[in-house]
């Protein structure tokens, strides 16, 4: 089990620009929650002009608490977002979030996670208890302890199927050789249809989308790291050719790979 939060920038467009403007950090949850939760993420900002931040979302559910000292805190759940996500930060504020592991929200909610895909809903509408007060205020330790208490109070139900799906999604993320749904299904003694049903029920979206999203996120992260041989990267990530990578990159981010790389200089 992971002993420290991920240190990559996958999914964040212009990560250096984000970190110049806000305080962004990740923290691990309590050990008992780590089979279900990827990490907590905390952002605080004090901006003199608005900043638009764009994200290429992970195949994961997030629960997010937004607020500042002058306004009530809001809480929402965000299902897997299939489109580019954009948010404008302005003035002084903070956000405290839970990023669940793909498949990890199902034991808390106990409903098909596909019902949330593409939607952002007030947390209160999900029927999960939320204590009064500001969960996202205070020190980092205080914010994380409140999230630990909140999730423990939701009493996740251990489920071997959840563990299987979480492991499958992690295999897609980390194993570059996973490029086709039918190959992954055969590797684990499943039919393609069984694998698709498992992902829709527990992750909220199909395995083909998860494969493509993780490969594209890696391409975006590599673009931010410096000059690239795009043809070699396309082959490395399993795209048919450089043009295929460029089309998918543009369809998700709205810009070509080379235009994105130039925008970071």
Total Cβ atoms within 10 A of residue 4 = 9
Residues 138 and 95: beta-carbon distance below 8 Å? no
Q: What percent of the chain has pLDDT over 70?
A: 99
1 vs 88: CA distance, rounded Å: 35
Q: 129 exposed, middle or buried (CB, 10 Å; 0-12, 13-18, 19+)?
A: exposed
B/e letters for 24-39, b = 16+ CB within 10 Å, e = fewer, are beebbbeeebbbbbbb
| Per-residue pLDDT, 227 | 78
Going along the chain from its start, the domains and CATH numbers come out as 15-153 (2.60.40), 160-263 (1.10.10.60)
Comparing C-alpha atoms, which of 151, 236, 168 is closest to residue 208? 168
Alpha-carbon distance values, 13 to 52, 108, 223, 232, 254 (Å):
11, 30, 10, 22, 11
| Per-residue pLDDT, 258 | 86
Whose tokens are 């979480």? That residue is 166
| Per-residue pLDDT, 135 | 84
76 vs 62: CA distance, rounded Å: 8
pTM assigned to the model: 0.94
Structure tokens at 76: 């929402």
In this prediction, residues 140-164 reach a mean pLDDT of 95
Residues 75 and 130: beta-carbon distance below 8 Å? yes
- Confidence at 1, pLDDT banded by 50, 70, 90: low
What is the per-residue pLDDT across 209-258, written as a single tens digit (0 to 9) for each? Answer: 999 999 999 999 888 877 788 899 898 888 888 999 999 999 999 998 88
């Amino acid at each position: 089990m992971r002993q420290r939060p991920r240190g990559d920038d996958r999914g964040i467009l212009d990560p250096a620009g984000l970190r110049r403007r806000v305080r962004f950090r990740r923290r691990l949850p309590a050990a008992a929650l780590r089979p279900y939760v990827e990490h907590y993420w905390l952002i605080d900002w004090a901006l003199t002009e608005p900043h638009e931040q764009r994200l290429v979302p992970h195949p994961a559910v997030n629960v997010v608490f937004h607020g500042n000292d002058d306004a009530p805190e809001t809480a929402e759940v965000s299902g897997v977002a299939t489109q580019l996500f954009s948010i404008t930060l302005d003035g002084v504020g903070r956000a405290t979030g839970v990023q669940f592991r793909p498949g990890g929200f199902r034991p808390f909610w106990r409903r098909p996670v596909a019902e949330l895909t593409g939607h952002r809903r007030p947390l209160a509408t999900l029927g999960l208890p939320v204590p009064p007060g500001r969960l996202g205020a205070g020190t980092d330790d205080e914010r994380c302890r409140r999230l630990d208490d909140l999730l423990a109070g939701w009493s996740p139900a251990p489920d071997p199927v959840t563990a299987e799906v979480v492991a499958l999604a992690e295999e897609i993320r980390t194993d570059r050789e996973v490029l086709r749904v039918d190959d992954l299904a055969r590797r684990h003694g499943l039919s393609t249809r069984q694998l698709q049903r498992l992902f829709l029920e527990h992750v909220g979206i199909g395995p083909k989308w998860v494969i493509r999203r993780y490969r594209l996120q890696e391409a975006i992260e590599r673009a931010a790291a410096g000059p690239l041989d795009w043809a070699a990267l396309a082959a490395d990530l399993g795209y048919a050719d450089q043009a295929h990578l460029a089309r998918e990159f543009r369809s998700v981010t709205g810009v070509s790979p080379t235009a994105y790389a130039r925008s970071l200089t």
